[in-house]
Amino acid sequence: MPKSHLPPSLSIPLRAPPSRVTPTYPTHVLAVSSSRSSHDSQAIMVPVHSLVLAAQCARFPELRTPSMPVSHTLTLPVIPIAVPSPAAFTVLRSFMYDHRLDSVLKALFPLPANFLANLSHSTVRATMTSGQVLHQLSLYLCEASKYDLQTLTKHTAHVKDLWQDMVTLGLFDTELWDTIDLAWEIVLGAMNLAVVMRQ
């Protein structure tokens, strides 16, 4: 949506849920735009629950209390925010809800499915101390990127974007920080391998 035409709120029609289901509706819509460029006039509209963000983002502004649904309509306040990378914000939003480290890595660059399956924080930490596994993951990424430095540079930028958004939001989750550190080591290793292969 154009930043210059953001409404103060959005009214969302609601369907009647099954009688046994108590719905948990979003409380706000974030209009997420880039803080890097004043030329970017678009904002990504992202529904959120204020409690989820307040519990995990130390630097997120306080969100006003939304109104309750009235006559099968939910009115959500629209809150403009600026982060270095709106695309990276959508990855972080998903993590704040499901805490899946594998989804974070999948969003950054390709990795072997057997490594991502049931990925845990302990696996991330163990991988960081294993030069052999780090090398294998970097080699996999290098081959998946066809040893192309431009592609690997884009992957590096995605990791950096996620890191910058985390700092901006004050998202201090140890598991997520360790996963970003792992992603950085893998992509730098892949770039080094690509350079060696070109020589």
Q: What count of other Cβ atoms lies within 10 Å of the Cβ of residue 157?
A: 13
Q: Kindly list the distances between the CA atom of residue 96 and the CA atoms of 21, 57, 193, in Å, as whole numbers in the listed order.
A: 23, 9, 33
Q: 70-81, pLDDT tens digit by residue?
A: 668 888 999 999
Report how far residue 98's alpha carbon sits from residue 56's, in angstroms, rounded to the nearest whole number.
13
Q: Are 142 and 193 in contact (CB under 8 A)?
A: yes
Q: Kindly list the distances between the CA atom of residue 87 and the CA atoms of 45, 84, 183, in Å, as whole numbers in the listed order.
A: 11, 9, 17
Q: 73-125, pLDDT tens digit by residue?
A: 888 999 999 999 999 999 999 999 999 999 999 999 999 999 999 899 999 99
For CA atoms 36, 188, 153, 138, the dihedral sign is negative
pLDDT of residue 152: 97
For residue 28, the cross-strand partners are: 48
Q: 1-59, pLDDT tens digit by residue?
A: 888 889 999 988 887 766 677 778 899 999 999 998 767 689 999 999 999 999 999 99
Largest CA distance in the chain: 68
SS (H, E, C) the chain: CEHHHCCCEEEEECCCCCCCCCCCCCCEEEEEEECCCCCCCECEEEEECHHHHHHHECCCCCCCCCCCCECCEEEEEEEEEEECCHHHHHHHHHHHHHCCHHHHHHHHCCCCHHHHCCCCHHHHHHHHCCHHHHHHHHHHHHHHCCCCHHHHHHHHHHHHHHHHHHHHHCECCHHHHHHHHHHHHHHHHHHHHHHHHHC
> Poorest-confidence range of 36-40, 86-90, 126-130, 153-157?
36-40
